Structure 1
Amino acid sequence: MKKTIKEQKAVLIILLSNIFIAFLGVGLIVPVMPSFMDIMHLSGKTMGYLVAVFAVSQLLMSPLAGRFVDRYGRKKIIIIGLLLFSVSELIFGLGTNVWVLYLSRVLGGFSAAFIMPGVTAYVADITSVQERSKAMGYLSAAISTGFIIGPGIGGFIAEYGIRFPFFFAASIAFLACITSIFILKEPLTKEQLAEISANTKQTNFISDLRRSINPLYFIAFIIVFVLAFGLSAYETIFSLFSDHKFGYTPKDIAAIITISSIFGVIIQIFMFGKIVDILGEKKLIQLCLIIGAILAVASTVVSSFLAVLVVTCFIFLAFDLLRPALTTFLSKAAGKEQGFVAGMNSTYTSLGNIVGPAMGGILFDVNIHYPYLFAAVIMGISLGITVMWKEKRLVESLAE
């Protein structure tokens, strides 16, 4: 019988810290974007590509990483991911040429491809089905907090130097790597890993994509993709939009994002389970998409600092509630294929993150409002896709 979450608090804290640090580093780049654009004479398009290349490398590595998680164990893959992440942040902090920044983001994408499925599979292994949604809620909160509060921390630390946030991220990632080596224990035995590995040995990227088309997973994966697509387009441009339209400083941007993050995480940790019990996963996802689309449009017309803060708080909250709903469903549907499903979850996220920032950067150069309107359209499309989500069929499949 698996231990309860309370009995495994120390392990969960380490796992949540690892995923938090990984997504913290992803967000650190956001508040320094305007400064980098000025110093290195970069366009919005180039900055969008800089974010997108991270997702490209994550996409290419995610299917392999998912299989590695099932073949070599969760712990090893998490440690490798943290080490790669530390190196990538150090390189970014030292970079003075654009190609060095791209190299850093490639390594960063590889690290995310290792860390995300490794931690997700580890959490799924050590929790019971009854507590899975609560654990995934915590995991999603850690991801959301890192991704959203990253720009906030980056903005504050940047006061000591424009490159200091990256040296800070490299240091804490290396510390997390060392801590994981000594505290984490592999949750599966060698025999269990060998059994899972035998079932996935002959797979490749194309076959994994074909497996993901299974009706049990596919609609959820498509929503993961579209969510990442719209969210990354919105978040990538946020600091540039705030700087160009309102003249906000890195501290202003950091304050908005930090407050929004705290608000979202509090709701996510303490109310997510209750909201799912009341609405169900499908209705919650649809409600969040509707709110997200409306607020993305509202972002183009609000002007006061307070209005921007309120809109940002609620649009980030909508995204924060979407993630655990999707992740929990996929984890429950995965059974013994936790590595595969977590890897493909990362793959579809990467696909969305590739197109979203690049498209957002291109649209920003045309009109600063277009990325937000674009995000609203994408969320509207997502809402349409959820209509095809046959909830009863999925529940029956899970019960089999």
Structure 2
Amino acid sequence: MNTKRALTILFAVMFLVMVGFGIIIPVIPFYAEELGASPTELGLLMAVYSLMQLIFAPMWGRISDGIGRKPVIMIGTLGLALSFFLMAVSTALWMLFAARIIGGLLSSANMATVMAYAADITSEEDRGKGMGIVGAAIGLGFIFGPAIGGIFSSSSLSTPFFLAGSFALFTFFMVMFILRESLSIEKRRKESLRKSGNLFHAFKSSSTNMLYFLTFFVTLSLAGLEATFAYFAAERADLGTIELGYIFMIMGLGSAIVQGGMVGGFIKRFGEHVVIQIGILVSAVGFLLILFTDSFITAAIYLTVFGLGNGVIRPSVSSLLTKKSKIGHGGVTGLLSSFDSLGRIIGPPLGGWFFSISIGLPYIFGILLSILTFVLFRVFTAPQLKSIRREQEL
């Protein structure tokens, strides 16, 4: 299977996975409330999924290094389908929690392994393009999923869960019959040798260990924004749910276009270390502009500026880590997914707490965190990466 076709299939896999995941987003609060969930229990229901991903993503990444990517992606997509169907037939709150735990445990195999697959089939020169395509699929899935879920929830609150399960099940069969394994037996042996020892040997490389924390900081500020922007926009610009849906769609499309069509070229020309720094600075500018939101137009423009900056960081980080790390690709991407999940666990309650103090505080925090991340990256990581890049060019 040639690289272009394989990346197209990976794009379809992650798009369908994220559409299915996105379908339930606008429905699950009402579904849980119908089963007697309090606001606190709803928060725990959302957090337990990310907690499972935090714990198990590195495990699945490591397993994929040993047995291959395809079977692990199949486990992830089938597990996601099972969790959605279990949620659809839930008649008690504990059943929803059980379904979310199962879903988080098994579906944590998906993103890490798909990114590892993209690393397997791309050269170092084209690694950024491959990671960008995966990132674009994730972004587009998040755009279309909630819209579909909102439409089909009008007939029954359980319908979106059945629909999401069907998407995941279709993806499972697509992987089974169309996607070929990216790791030969020989490559699996090499990956197994590379992953031997403690996973946290990844941190021994001073040129890359900051990248995991950078991912955590970026996701932390993003999750805080996602949790509070609806309230902020309603207060500052009197925007409702429909307008917010359009705004997030515009932001998502802009981010997907940059990731899918531009980030690979940026990385080839400037290197990941430069693109990451530009992404952090643009994100900081976006946070600053959001504070001046006063209409639908300004909200859409400012949030898109933030989305463009944020969108180029993750593919660049994934590309760089898979190039430089001394452990297997699956171990790297699994650990990266864990840091992403940690940000998604802490970000919403932290953002909500800041918002309760002052409505602009989550975005001021985002600016300060972006500046801190930029300084740390520039001082501790960028010089070493630049030196390595110069040596490779010579």
Q: TM-score range by the shorter chain?
A: 0.7 to 0.9
Aligned residue runs from structure 1 range 1-400, under 5 A: 7-32=2-27, 35=30, 42-43=38-39, 47-95=42-90, 97-201=92-196, 203=197, 207-239=198-230, 241-242=232-233, 248-277=239-268, 279-334=270-325, 337-364=328-355, 368-397=359-388
- Worse overlay, 351-360 or 175-184: 351-360
Q: Cα distance 1:371–1:48, how it changes in 2: closer, same or farther (>3 A)?
A: farther
Q: Deviations over 1:197-251 (max 9, x none)?
A: 24535x4xxx322433421320111111111111122223344555677665543
Instruction: Give the CA deviation at 1:365.
Output: 5.2
Secondary structure at the residue paired with 2:125?
helix
TM-score (norm 2): 0.86
Classify 1:297/1:142 alpha carbon distance in 2 versus 1 (closer, same or farther; 3 Å).
Answer: same
> Do the aligned residues in 1 keep the contact of 2:131 with 2:319 (CA within 8 Å)?
yes
Q: Once the two structures are aligned, what percentage of the paired residues are identical?
A: 29
CA positional deviation for 1:53: 2.1
Deviation at 1:71, TM superposition (A): 1.2
Uncovered stretches (5+) of structure 2, i.e. residues with no partner = none
Q: How many residues align?
A: 390
SS in 2 for 1:388: helix
2:285 maps to a residue whose letter is I
Q: What secondary structure, in the 3-state scheme, does the structure 1 residue paired with 2:280 have?
A: helix
Over 3 Å counting, the alpha-carbon distance change for 1:372 and 1:395 in structure 2 is closer
Please tell me whether the aligned partners of residues 82 and 174 of structure 1 are also in contact (alpha carbons under 8 angstroms). Answer: yes
- What are the Cα deviations for residues 146-168 of structure 1, in whole angstroms up to 9, with x where unaligned? 24544344344444444433322
Amino acid at match of 2:68: G
Q: Structure 1 residues 237, 155: CA separation in 2 closer, same or farther (over 3 Å shift)?
A: farther
Once residues 366 and 6 of structure 2 are traced to their aligned partners in structure 1, the CA distance between those partners, rounded to angstroms, is 37
Aligned equivalents of 2:271 and 2:89: distance in 1?
47
Compute the TM-score of the two structures, normalised by the length of structure 1. Answer: 0.85
Q: Which runs of 5+ in 1 are unaligned?
A: none
- Alpha carbons of structure 1 residues 97 and 365: separation in structure 2 relative to 1, 3 Å: farther
Distance 1:244 1:162 in 2: 29
- Per the TM alignment, residue 178 of structure 1 is displaced from its structure 2 partner at its CA by 0.8
